Amino acid sequence: MAKWGQGDPRWIVEEREDGTNVNNWHWTERDATSWSKGKLRELLVGIAVENEAGRCEISELKQVEGEASCSSRKGKLIFFYEWNIKLGWKGIIKESGAKHKGLIEIPNLSEENEVDDTEVNVSKKKGDGNILKDLMKTAGTAKVREALGDYLKALKTEFTMGMILPTKAMATQELTVKRKLSETTLQASSPVALGVRIPTVALHMTELFDTAIEQLYRIFTVKDLVQKFSKSPAVLEAEKGRKFQMFDGNITGEYVELLTNKKIVMKWRCRNWPEEHYAIVALNFVPNLGQTELQLDCKGVPVCEEENMKFCWQKQHFEEIQGLLQLITLNG
């Protein structure tokens, strides 16, 4: 397979305003190398395992060599990735308090092998502490493979958003799927114009957060907190009628309704959605025995973006907010 940037220029469609890839026919290619290095670091560093004898944690990404890319041709995505990864781990034996260090090497993570078959080698510096090495070879290796699987899932969903554009043929096929669809239309009783008419689906998701309603509500409405959980610049002013941008402008929308500590309703869209099409996202904050249950109801999601939408909210919102809440708790 040709390396990134070495494809036949006759088949490459440049990403430019006037270079629309009609019906996804032409070969398009996107370099995923830099994104992948960041994602692998995010998913692997910090993995911890523990048993009655000791505790181990992956402390650093020592080396990540290789490349990754995604290509699109005739509406199909083709993935290429090949990585040589070295991780540093450290551990402590509970009974003696002795500390030990070692390495985890993944010599060939590629599309040629299933994640469960990917070679993961664990080693330890000289001396005692084999009990920790055994812990990393069993529970640690399992968690590493799980993280590698999460990387591949993100590569095929999060990274590829926008590479396959909706077509008339896709819309016709999606209408035959046996699922309850809604049509995004402007109803006389609706206060919000949802834009173009395309096949859509509704989503419902819930997540329980170990925090007060007031704190969770602030995380969604205070710019500094939004930037912390999204790990990217944001532009927002949480008032009815105000527009917002998140994730470097990949998510945009407008506040439709805000009931302090109770409910937020937004017009919401991803950058790669059909122009002027918005979903309606409603967040309901419900007290639950000292915790807060967040109920997400979303209407008007393009059918072809359903899985991406679920991934976006579960991974990039819920899980990142859980992590931010843990940091807030640790820092008092």
Digit-coded pLDDT (tens) for 28-54: 778 888 889 989 999 999 999 999 999
Give the residue ranges of DSSP H helices in 14-139: 33-44, 130-135
> pLDDT grade, residue 332 (50/70/90)?
low
For position 172, what pLDDT does the model report? 43
pLDDT digits (tens, 9 = 90+) for 78-98: 888 999 999 999 999 999 999
- Rounded to an integer, the average pLDDT of 7-24 is 44
Using a pLDDT cut of 90, give the percent of the chain over it: 54
Q: What is the mean pLDDT of the chain?
A: 82
Higher pLDDT, 197 or 237: 237
> pLDDT grade, residue 70 (50/70/90)?
confident
132 pLDDT higher than 60: yes
Q: Is 241 exposed, middle or buried (0-12, 13-18, 19+ CB in 10 A)?
A: exposed
19 pLDDT higher than 50: no
> pLDDT grade, residue 17 (50/70/90)?
very low
13 pLDDT higher than 70: no
CATH topology of domain 200-331: Alpha-D-Glucose-1,6-Bisphosphate; Chain A, domain 4 (3.30.530)
Which letter does DSSP use for residue 285 in this model?
E
- Rounded to an integer, the average pLDDT of 103-119 is 92
Higher pLDDT, 191 or 38: 38
- Rounded to an integer, the average pLDDT of 219-244 is 92
- Rounded to an integer, the average pLDDT of 126-149 is 91
For position 221, what pLDDT does the model report? 95
**Residue 318 token pair:** 């819920």
Using a pLDDT cut of 70, give the percent of the chain over it: 79
Q: Do domains 28-158 and 200-331 have the same CATH topology?
A: no
pLDDT digits (tens, 9 = 90+) for 283-297: 999 998 889 999 999
For position 166, what pLDDT does the model report? 45
Distance CA 168, CA 177 (A): 15
For position 15, what pLDDT does the model report? 43
> pLDDT grade, residue 178 (50/70/90)?
very low
Spans of all domains in the chain = 28-158, 200-331
Higher pLDDT, 118 or 188: 118
Picking from 103-107, 179-183, 200-204, 206-210, which range would have the lowest pLDDT averaged per residue? 179-183
For position 103, what pLDDT does the model report? 95
For position 14, what pLDDT does the model report? 42
Distance CA 332, CA 330 (A): 5
144 pLDDT higher than 80: yes
**Residue 258 token pair:** 């805000």
CATH topology of domain 28-158: Bactericidal permeability-increasing protein; domain 1 (3.15.10)
16 pLDDT higher than 90: no
pTM as predicted: 0.48
Per residue, the 3-state secondary structure of the chain, as one string, reads CCCCCCCCCCCECCCCCCCCCHHHCCEEEEECHHHHHHHHHHHHCCCEEECCCEEEEEEEEEEEEEEEEEEEECCEEEEEEEEEEEEEEEEEECCCCCEEEEEEEEEEEECCCCHHHCCCEEEECCCCCHHHHHHHHHHHHHHHHHHHHHHHHHHHCCCCCCCCCCCHHHHHHHHCCCCCCEECCCCCCCCCCCCCCCEEEEEEEEEEECCCHHHHHHHHHCHHHHHHHHCCCCECCCCCCCEEEEHHHCEEEEEEEEECCCEEEEEEEECCCCCCCCEEEEEEEEEECCEEEEEEEEEEEEHHHHHHHHHHHHHHHHHHHHHHHHHHHHCC
